């Protein structure tokens, strides 16, 4: 298999794996009553840099709909994922100082370094969680309580992302 088709295959597997992981295991986790990780957007984070932009949006849409199918919230996760995918190119261009910082095919802790990767993933996770939690309650009278949920859940999601980054690329010295 050449490099491109291997990447495509890997991403398709990751797509289904993350949906199942989210709906079967992560959705049942709740720390402190109501903190919930939404790790499935790791898929959007890991798409290669040269992914066509239309594919970015379309795959994010189906990723979100896949989650919605199981939680009976049509459009909720889809809206949050599409917005995250839309924000991705802009966030990459804001946090990258030049094209030289985009080493390798896909964004990763190993290629771009800790600072870049943290900026990148925290921004996208926040975009996603903000949209998701505020759309879910769809009113502002529980504003601060929801904000707390956004922040705590983002921390939880970020932990999972960092752990899997370290597992995928163990430090080689």
Partner 1 sequence: MRNLFEFLRKHYFYFLFLLLESFSLFLLVGYNEFQRSSLYSTSYILSGSVNNLFSGISEYFSLRKTNKVLIEELAQLHSRLPEAFYKTDTTSYYQKDSIISLEYKYISAKVISNSTNKRNNFLMINKGKLHGVQNHMGVIIGNKIVGQVVSVSNHFSWIMSMLNKDSRISGKFKKNNQLVNIEWNGGNYRKGQVKEIPKHIAMLKGDTIITSGNSDIFPEGLMIGTISDFTITQDENFNNGTLLFSTDFNSLGYVEVVIDILRKEKEELKASFK
Question: Which of 123, 124, 146 lies closest to 135 in space, CA to CA?
Answer: 146
Question: In the chain, helix, strand, coil percent, each to 5?
Answer: 75, 0, 25
Which residue stretch of 53-61, 98-106, 108-116, 122-130 sits at the interface with partner 1 (rule: CB under 8 A)? 53-61
DSSP-derived letter for residue 73 is: -
Residue 151 in contact with partner 1, rule: CB under 8 A: no
Torsion-angle region of 33 (φ positive above 0: left; ψ -120 to 50: alpha; else: beta): left
**Of 8 and 62, CB closest to partner 1:** 62
| Residue 11 Cβ vs partner 1, minimum distance, rounded to whole Å | 19
39/42 Cα distance (integer angstroms): 6
Residue 82 in contact with partner 1, rule: CB under 8 A: yes
Among 8, 15, 48, 79, the residue binding partner 1 under the rule CB under 8 A is 79
DSSP-derived letter for residue 22 is: H
- 108-137: contacts with partner 1 (CB under 8 A): 133, 135-137
Residue 104 in contact with partner 1, rule: CB under 8 A: no
**Of 35 and 118, CB closest to partner 1:** 35
Residue 93 in contact with partner 1, rule: CB under 8 A: no
């Amino acid at each position: 298999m050449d490099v491109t088709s291997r990447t495509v295959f890997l991403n398709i597997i990751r797509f289904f794996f993350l949906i199942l992981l989210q709906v079967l295991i992560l959705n049942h986790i709740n720390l402190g009553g109501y903190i919930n990780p939404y790790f499935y957007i790791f898929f959007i984070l890991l798409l290669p840099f040269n992914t066509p932009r239309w594919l970015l949006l379309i795959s994010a849409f189906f990723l979100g709909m896949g989650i919605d199918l199981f939680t009976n919230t049509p459009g909720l996760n889809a809206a949050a994922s599409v917005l995250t995918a839309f924000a991705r190119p802009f966030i990459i261009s804001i946090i990258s100082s030049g094209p030289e910082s985009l080493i390798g095919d896909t964004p990763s802790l190993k290629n771009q370094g800790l600072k870049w990767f943290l900026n990148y993933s925290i921004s996208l996770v926040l975009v996603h969680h903000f949209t998701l939690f505020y759309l879910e309650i769809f009113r502002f009278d529980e504003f601060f309580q929801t904000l707390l949920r956004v922040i705590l859940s983002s921390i939880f999601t970020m932990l999972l992302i960092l752990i899997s980054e370290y597992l995928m690329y163990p430090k080689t010295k």
